[in-house]
Chains A and B, each alone.
Chain A
Amino acid sequence: MMRPIGIKQITGRSPLPESVMERIKLIQYADANHVLGQMASVVNAGAEDRLGEVFRNALLRAEHDHRMLQFEMNRLEHALTKSDIEPIVLKGGAYVALRKKAGNGRRVSDLDILVDEDQLVEVETLLKEAGWETEETTDNPYDQSYYREHMHELPPLRHRKRGTIIDIHHRLLPRTARYNVDVNAMRKMAVPLEGVRLKTFNDVDLFIHSAVHAFGDGSFDAPARSLVELSMLYEELSEEDQKHLPQRASDVGAAIPVSVALWAIGCFFSIKNALTQGHHLMKFRRHYILRWAIKSKTLTGRLSTLAKAFLYIRSHYLRMPLYLLIPHLTRKAFAWRPLSKKPVELPFP
């Protein structure tokens, strides 16, 4: 079980634990939750001691991801030169490209982009011409049509030679989702990235999307990472942007996830302003099970399995109505799955 202070220590808001075993456990937790690189970029360690070496190691791994990301963005731009489409880079890709604090040391495994729904066919065609192809796990008629009919993104594409994945979104939540976030309003305010034909959301909308991703859709699958990123994005908002955030969240229909996010970072990182803002935006005092589940899953407490189950069910409840959900989950539960690809070949005994 991780103590709440651990999350603060990862972001440098509290000094590291004195006990060596506690320190090691914190590093293991950060590594397993993919925030060791972000921790390494904000927590000071002497360059000479062992902690400095552990951090340096984590940053080297993130540097690789960032090189990959930069190259993939370049290839994407290249693939779309024939069109006038300017995709919006989402999530980690945006944080890294904008040199946000949340992007420093962040692991990135794929590129997420957002385009207009009318542009989907064109983007998919151009990317396929440039070497991307349907990713093997979703290369079956059911998944293909399921993604296209109900989801907020196309089935993932993998590049034939480089093996990298690109997710093409046309909205932020599934078509069938209970909340309807006004992605067009967000797209209108998108800002161009310097020197390339790609865009990102503006700072306020970056926070909103991160909140929607963590609490409006998924089952809060990377709890520590979501919280760390939300806190860093919030912290980097200008005073004016912070003030403007609740209004913007209501305008684009993301009041609920944003209020949960504000409560969560307020509570985990003792950011008073976030707590107050979250409370004003939505009085969700009654949502005590949700709040308990978020805490429990993040801290991997004794009942975290129960918390995970609750968040899993909630995520599906939010994603689609029961008449679609039940047949889908039934099919997934009984679906025949081919055995996974052969394991990585390693050059040792």
Chain B
Amino acid sequence: MTSSLNIFSKEEIRKALKDGSFTLHLGPFSHLLSGRGDALLDFLIDTYRDNRVEMSPSDVTDVQLSLEAPNVLRRFFRPQVTPNPGFEVPAMPLPLSMSALAHEMGLNLSVALKCCRFVNVHAGVVADDEGAIVMSAASGAGKSTLTAALLQYGYRLFSDEFALIGLDGPILHPYPRPISLKQETIPVVREMVGDNWISEVVKGSPKGDIAYYRARKRDLARDQEPAKAKLILFPNFEKGVQPIAHQLNPAEAIMRLVPASTNYSLLGEPAFRAITGLVENTRAYEISYGSTTDSLRLVEQITGKKML
């Protein structure tokens, strides 16, 4: 039986993490986690408070992630942590205090490289009753900020990281992990959603300052409800730029989604069918903007749905 994480005591969670029996259920995946230290514990208790968990798994899991010291020395002397998803990954050791980042990176690597029951496309996804908006962009293009902003206007969170497209039909599956915020986007989103929703900032990581925007309870409650896509966006944030939307034809959209997929070549034909299926009945736009308000206005224009 799964229960909300916040009903367990800190000591129960600490023990389950130490024994490697802590199980997180989210969207289509279950994750077995092991790790140690207060940094990890405090992060999970705060940011994953409303997630469904088990202190001991009731079934086998899709992902097994162990956050461990890179070697014996680093358990004790200036302790470090590195994510071990069970296969070799290009992850560098981080100070133990950055366990939150190691945890999020480890889960991302596991899903991106190991889980192939879905086509994984690096994209933010939100949805309302009419369908999902897929936002695919490189890091730093404003995808997370736009995702966070749309959540304030009637959309629910699918994911800030992965569009999971089903292999049996072009349907998107929710995977509402916390939204990762970098550097200057932290204060922007903090102002948008309030202090309560943002995790402690991991300062001076190899990727700069990082913080996480907690997934909302109502979004987590609907993590088993897939949706069809209604819009595909390729956001492009650039300071001082005039807001503009440029419609792409299906072929252009496909050619941009393919390289953003982490398992396209592994899956081959089914991945091609899933991505073309997704694009087929959906409009796709490249949008450029210099502020969050501008980006929301563009989405308003394209969807015809009043937000601001």
Contacts and interface: CB of A to CB of B under 8 A. Distances in A.
A288 interface: no
Interface residues of A, number: 26
Given A61-B266, A346-B262, A348-B122, A23 B60 contact: yes
**A interface: dominant SS:** helix
Contacts of B64: 24, 28
B60 A349 contact: no
B180 interface: yes
B117 interface: yes
B199 interface: no
Interface string B106-134: 00110010111100001000000000000
B262 A50 contact: no
B9 interface: no
A24 B32 contact: yes
A315 B30 CA distance: 41
Contact of A67 (B60, B117, B262, B268): B268
Interface stretch (A51-59, A193-201, A222-230, A248-256): A51-59
A67 B30 CA distance: 29
Contacts of A343: 90
Please tell me the size bucket of the interface on B: 35 or more
B14 to A, nearest CB: 18
B268 A64 contact: yes
**B interface: dominant SS:** loop
A20 B59 CA distance: 6
A20 B108 contact: no
A347 B62 contact: no
B161 interface: yes
B57 to A, nearest CB: 5
Contact of A21 (B30, B57, B86): B57
Given A20-B59, A24-B32, A349-B182, A64 B138 contact: no
A63 B266 CA distance: 9
Interface string B95-108: 00000000001001
Nearest to A45: B60
Interface string A329-349: 000000000000001101111
Given A49-B59, A67-B268, A347 B117 contact: no
Interface in B230-265: 260, 262, 265
B139 A349 contact: yes
Interface string A133-172: 0000000000000000000000000000000000000000
A64 B267 contact: yes
Given A32-B86, A53-B117, A64-B267, A348 B112 contact: yes
A299 interface: no
Contacts of A28: 64, 86
A95 to B, nearest CB: 21
Interface string A23-67: 110011001100000000000000001110110110011011001
Most-contacted residue by chain B among A49, A51, A64 (CB, 10 A): A64
Interface string A52-84: 011011001101100100000000000000000
B58 interface: yes
Given A23-B60, A50-B60, A60-B117, A346 B112 contact: yes
A46 to B, nearest CB: 11
B59 A51 contact: yes
Contacts of B262: 346-347
A348 B64 CA distance: 20
Interface of A: 20-21, 23-24, 27-28, 31-32, 49-51, 53-54, 56-57, 60-61, 63-64, 67, 343-344, 346-349
9 contacts: A21-B57, A24-B61, A51-B59, A61-B266, A343-B90, A347-B139, A348-B112, A348-B161, A349-B207
What 8 A-B pairs have minimum CB-CB distances, sorted nearest first? A343-B90, A347-B122, A50-B59, A60-B116, A64-B266, A51-B60, A20-B57, A348-B108
